[in-house]
């Protein structure tokens, strides 16, 4: 298995700058997910790695060796688009053997390799079946088997689950992750679905408009998003953003309507010292909002605007100052509309209100002056 490095990659299509100078690495055996909205350059990046597109600038390295000049067939990669792209008239055996037959390997070698893949993917006994006689999970494994049989150094998967319904996608996520671990396969997986990314990745590469926004573990991108884009793209319901003014003299944050006023701790003031604007955005995840039965220190008064019962949780929409924010509460907590509640924040992110970059994340307690 190979380690992959992408260094300063640019790719243009006429006037469109699809990828604008991105750099990242994927370690041997790592499961990396490129996450970003449609059109942000994910497929273009994969195609450059695969050798299907020529970079305008930048290098692709496999195990430290530059592969820019190598043809796709020389790069020893497996590129999978959709797991259902099986040949319908061929059996499981022939589907998996297909790439080896195309390479004209000796019969015995083909037999051995196909057997090995069938064994590894738990497909023994299904060799003679046609795709239509398989379950969705089995089909996925056959498609993967067809990619694996060539013993690639790197797996490149481009939205492979996108044509499945939601239930199936959920199951496939788990199976895919388990299989990747078992094979120890260096994998770059592309998706626009943040749940897929969060649930499977060792490392998430968040992209927008041809640029990398953040590289981090699922934990890092969730708890310490690098900017407003990442904060907004990850999590559902999305992070709440409260626009504030920073009163530097008084060491306070005030939201625009005056409904929130937070005397800041030294740690918070220190972090805010680095920015040149007084526009600050407090980001709070709906899951990081705590309810209190009455007024309490470091709790903010809010009015209940709407309750969305989702079964496992209630999403409580709250009016705070002039804004409506969402909080995730226990299903048993169902306040009536217009009721007064008190909330505090377990964790917050602060953002530069102009550029949108993160100033830092901290526990809610750490934000307030004692
Ligand atoms: P993603 O996979 O993230 O949805 P793509 O890499 O497919 O994004 O596309 C990035 C941008 O490059 C888009 O604006 C897309 O329209 C453009 N693009 C991709 N391939 C081509 C092409 N062959 N010719 C012209 N424009 C392209
Ligand atoms: Mg794409």
Q: Is 42 in the pocket of ligand 1 (CB under 6 A)?
A: yes
**Mean pLDDT, residues 246-275 taken together:** 92
- Residue 202 to residues 31, 53, 79, 163: CA-CA distances in angstroms? 5, 26, 20, 24
- Residue 353 to residues 26, 228, 258, 357: CA-CA distances in angstroms? 32, 9, 17, 8
**Mean pLDDT, residues 100-122 taken together:** 91
Is residue 219 within 8 A of residue 49, CB to CB? The reply is no
Which residues, in sequence order, are CB contacts of 61 under 8 Å at separation 6+? 4, 5, 6, 7, 67
Q: Is 54 in the pocket of ligand 1 (CB under 6 A)?
A: no
Residue 23 above 90 pLDDT? yes
Q: Is 206 in the pocket of ligand 1 (CB under 6 A)?
A: no
Q: Pick the range with the lowest mean pLDDT from 42-56, 171-185, 308-322, 347-361.
A: 171-185
> Which of 191, 75, 194, 179 lies closest to 137 in space, CA to CA?
179
Is residue 152 within 8 A of residue 49, CB to CB? The reply is no
Supply the pLDDT for residue 84: 61
The torsion defined by the Cα of 192, 195, 201 and 206, in degrees rounded to 10, comes to: 40
Supply the pLDDT for residue 82: 64
- Residue 282 to residues 39, 249, 276, 279, 305: CA-CA distances in angstroms? 29, 19, 16, 10, 20
Measured in Å, residue 69 CA sits from the centre of ligand 1 at 22
Measured in Å, residue 49 CA sits from the centre of ligand 2 at 14
Q: Is 191 in the pocket of ligand 1 (CB under 6 A)?
A: no
- Give percent above pLDDT 70 in the chain: 99
Residue among 44, 50, 188 to mutate when testing ligand 1 (max atoms within 8 A of CB):
44
Sign of CA dihedral 357, 360, 363, 367: negative
Measured in Å, residue 242 CA sits from the centre of ligand 2 at 33
Supply the pLDDT for residue 323: 87
**Mean pLDDT, residues 68-78 taken together:** 92
Residue 314 pLDDT level (bands cut at 50, 70, 90)? very high
Structure tokens at 256: 């625009």
> Which of 173, 180, 364 lies closest to 262 in space, CA to CA?
364
Q: Is 16 in the pocket of ligand 1 (CB under 6 A)?
A: yes
Supply the pLDDT for residue 83: 60
Distance CA 44, CA 312 (A): 39
Determine which residue's CA is closest to atom 25 belonging to ligand 1: 13
Measured in Å, residue 37 CA sits from the centre of ligand 2 at 9
Determine which residue's CA is closest to atom 24 belonging to ligand 1: 13
Q: Tell me which long-range contacts 247-256 makes (C-beta under 8 A, separation of at least 24).
A: 247/278, 248/272, 248/278, 251/369, 253/280, 253/282, 255/282, 255/320, 255/321, 255/322, 255/323, 256/321, 256/322
Q: Is 37 in the pocket of ligand 1 (CB under 6 A)?
A: no
Measured in Å, residue 348 CA sits from the centre of ligand 2 at 32
**Mean pLDDT, residues 305-329 taken together:** 95
For residues 170 and 20, the model is more confident at 20
Q: Is 44 in the pocket of ligand 1 (CB under 6 A)?
A: yes
Supply the pLDDT for residue 209: 98
For residue 300, how many C-alpha atoms fall within 13 Å in the half-sphere facing its CB?
A: 25
Which residues, in sequence order, are CB contacts of 119 under 8 Å at separation 6+? none
């Amino acid at each position: 298995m190979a380690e992959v490095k992408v260094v300063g990659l640019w790719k243009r299509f006429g006037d469109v700058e699809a990828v604008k100078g991105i750099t990242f690495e994927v370690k041997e055996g790592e499961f990396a997910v490129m996450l970003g909205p449609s059109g942000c350059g994910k497929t273009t990046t994969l195609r450059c790695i695969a050798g299907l597109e020529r970079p305008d600038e930048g290098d692709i390295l496999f195990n430290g060796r530059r592969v820019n000049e190598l043809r796709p067939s020389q790069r020893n990669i497996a590129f999978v688009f959709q797991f259902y792209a099986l040949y319908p008239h061929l059996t499981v055996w022939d589907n998996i053997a297909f790439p080896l037959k195309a390479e004209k390997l000796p019969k015995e070698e083909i037999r051995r390799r196909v057997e090995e893949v069938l064994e590894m993917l738990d497909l023994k006994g299904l060799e003679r079946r046609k795709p239509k006689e398989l379950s969705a999970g089995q089909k996925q494994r056959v498609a993967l088997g067809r990619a694996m049989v060539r013993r690639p150094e790197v797996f490149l998967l481009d939205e492979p689950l996108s044509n499945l319904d939601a239930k199936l996608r959920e199951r496939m996520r788990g199976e895919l992750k388990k299989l990747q671990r078992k094979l120890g396969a260096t994998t770059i997986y592309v998706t626009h679905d943040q749940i897929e990314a969060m649930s499977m990745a060792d490392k998430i590469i968040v992209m927008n408009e041809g640029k990398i926004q953040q590289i981090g573990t699922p934990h890092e991108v969730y708890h310490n998003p690098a900017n407003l884009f990442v904060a907004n793209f990850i999590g559902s319901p999305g992070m709440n953003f409260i626009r504030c003014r920073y009163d530097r003299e008084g060491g306070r944050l005030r939201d625009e309507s005056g409904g929130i006023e937070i005397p800041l701790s030294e740690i918070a003031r220190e972090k805010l010292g680095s920015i040149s604007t007084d526009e600050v955005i407090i980001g709070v995840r709906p899951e990081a909002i705590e309810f209190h039965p009455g007024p309490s220190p470091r709790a903010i008064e809010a009015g209940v605007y709407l309750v969305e019962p989702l079964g496992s949780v209630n999403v409580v929409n709250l009016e705070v100052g002039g804004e409506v924010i969402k909080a995730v509460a226990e299903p048993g907590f169902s306040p009536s509309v217009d009721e007064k509640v008190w909330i505090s924040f377990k964790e917050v992110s602060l953002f530069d209100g102009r550029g949108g970059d993160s100033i830092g994340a901290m526990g809610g307690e750490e934000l307030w002056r004692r």
